[in-house]
Amino acid sequence: MAPSTSAAQTSGEHPFATDLNWLLHRVAAGLGSAQDEVARRHGLGVRDYVVLRTVAEGTPTSQLALGKDLGLDKTTLTAVLDRLEGAGLVVRRPSASDRRTRVCEATESGRDLADRAAKEIALTERELLAALKPQERRLLVTLLRDLAFGPFADAAPVTGSCI
Instruction: Give the total number of structural domains in the chain.
Output: 1
Domain residue limits at 66: 45-148
Q: Look at residue 1 in the predicted model and tell me its pLDDT.
A: 42
Residue 50 lies in a domain: yes
Q: What is the pTM of this model?
A: 0.81
DSSP strand E in 20-150: where?
Answer: 61-62, 90-94, 102-106
- In a domain? residue 23: no
Separation of alpha carbons 161 and 35, rounded Å: 16
Which residues are registered as beta bridge partners of 106? 90
Within a domain: 4: no
pLDDT value of position 5: 54
Question: Each residue of 73-113: pLDDT tens digit?
Answer: 889 999 999 999 999 999 999 888 888 888 999 999 999 99
Q: What is the pLDDT of residue 91?
A: 96
Q: Are 104 and 61 in contact (CB under 8 A)?
A: yes
Considering the domain boundaries, does residue 33 fall inside one? no
Measure the CA–CA gap between 50 and 159, rounded to whole angstroms. 17
- 119: in domain: yes
Q: CB under 8 Å to 83, separation ≥6 — which residues?
A: 48
Q: Is 109 helix (H, G, I), strand (E, B) or coil?
A: helix
The C-alpha atoms of residue 100 and residue 145 are separated, in whole angstroms, by 33
> Is beta strand 90-94 parallel, antiparallel or unpaired with respect to 61-62?
unpaired
Q: What is the CATH number of the domain that holds 122?
A: 1.10.10.10
pLDDT at 2: 46
> What is the distance between the alpha carbons of residues 48 and 76, in angstroms, rounded to a whole number?
10
For the chain, which ranges sit under pLDDT 70?
A: 1-12, 156-163
Q: What is the pLDDT of residue 158?
A: 54
Residue 71 lies in a domain: yes
Q: Report which DSSP code applies to 4.
A: P
